[in-house]
Amino acid sequence: MSEEGRHGEVKAHLISDSYSLLKRKACRSTQQREREKEKRERAMDSSESHMATLPEDDADSDHPQQTSPSAFDSVPQRPPSNKSSLEKYLPVDWSIYFDKEQDVAIPNSNDVFHVYMAGTEGPVVFCLHGGGYSGLSFALSASKIKEKARVVAMDFRGHGKSVSDNDLDLSVETMCNDVIAVIKQLYGESPPAIILVGHSMGGSIAVHVAARRSLSTLAGLVVVDVVEGTAMASLIHMQKILSSRVQHFSSLEKAIEWSVRGGSLRNVDSARVSIPSTLKYDDSKKCYVYRTELEKTEQYWKEWYEGLSDKFLSCPVPKLLLLAGTDRLDKSLTIGQMQGKFQMIVVRHTGHAIQEDSPEEFANLVINFISRNRIGPHGVEIPGLRKPAFSKP
């Protein structure tokens, strides 16, 4: 064979080999496309099978939902209905946190005060709520405190389930008498060691009761988020604040939701148990309204807080002031704190109702206060501190 013939044969083989290589690549590409197609079809079948389990498919069977061919697409979640969105705001019964409730009738009057109780031994942590709240604002913290002490949370007149001849008489004199009368009816002439715990308006009443020195076994005082200067300055805004609230609620769930979304409370679990007790159903309006008509009690607001700092410092028992923010202490409190006359703790990341927004931290602070001051059987001996004379359970 000539040289030219051999070159032609080699060239033909090279062309044939190149064609075969291209053919094999094309075949592999076709096979790969077939496999990817099968993979997409399996993904679609799986997606359709998954969607068949959704409850809305039964209603929409005549109009099947289109699916994406991508195996990475996920089935979108069904938007929650109004019913499901309100489920987390369903009311919760008080019995989850307290052990019992009791109506305390006051002799020679028509007044009956409702109290909630938890725990069976130890000193009594007697809780006084703020204006417009109820004893159930201490529910979550009570479930923790009762491990070391007894808890009694009272509904003031005009609040919660308490009834009286005059629900609008929220004067300091009247409310102090109510507290002392309830304690006397519960424990007679030999009450156990008592720690008064008061929030906001209740803090003022706790201070005034303690300053009277009429409770022989008073062993401690805890005031929650109320300082005279700040409170007095806020009074001029109170009517506007009260009138700007939502005044009517179609359901308890809506009221609970508003309290959390509106910012008055930050703990939905606490709101679910406490908010219903601050409302009543108005048959004429077919809706829920506020149980307490605070806007009609303005004549008493000033006396709640005027002179409170000096009265607080004069109370002859261990004292704890819990604040939700860095309220500026007035001159009397500043000097008193520097002299060690009371303990002050700022609780971060809470609103006005510390006991509701951070119930576990609040409970721990109260328990530590009891222990630190050796009140009751769970008190501890701390060198350098004098043991109170009345520490019986």
DSSP H helices in the chain: 3-51, 56-59, 82-86, 139-145, 172-187, 201-212, 228-234, 238-243, 252-261, 268-274, 301-305, 308-314, 331-338, 354-357, 359-372
| Cα–Cα dist 385/76, whole Å | 64
- 124, amino acid identity: V
Asked if 225 is an active-site residue, the reply is yes
| Cα–Cα dist 342/82, whole Å | 49
The C-alpha angle 62, 64, 65, rounded to 5 degrees, equals 145
| Cα–Cα dist 277/133, whole Å | 8
Three-state secondary-structure class, residue 266: coil
Cβ neighbors of 148 (< 8 A, separation 6 or more) are: 122, 367, 370, 371, 378
Tokens of 278: 């601050």
Three-state secondary-structure class, residue 345: strand
DSSP character at residue 245:
S
Annotated catalytic residue: which of 200, 259, 309, 358?
200
Strand partners, 115: 102, 154
Asked if 352 is an active-site residue, the reply is yes
| Cα–Cα dist 328/115, whole Å | 34
DSSP, residue by residue, 119-145:
-SSS-EEEEEPPTT--GGGGHHHHHHH
Strand 124-128 versus strand 150-154 pairing type: parallel
Query: How far is residue 346 CA from its own chain's centroid?
Result: 18
| Cα–Cα dist 94/99, whole Å | 9
Residue 254 backbone dihedrals phi, psi, to 5 degrees: -65, -40
Annotated catalytic residue: which of 111, 178, 225, 327?
225
The answer to whether 382 touches 369, Cβ cutoff 8 Å, is no
Annotated catalytic residue: which of 129, 159, 208, 352?
352
**Active site residue ranges:** 200, 225, 352
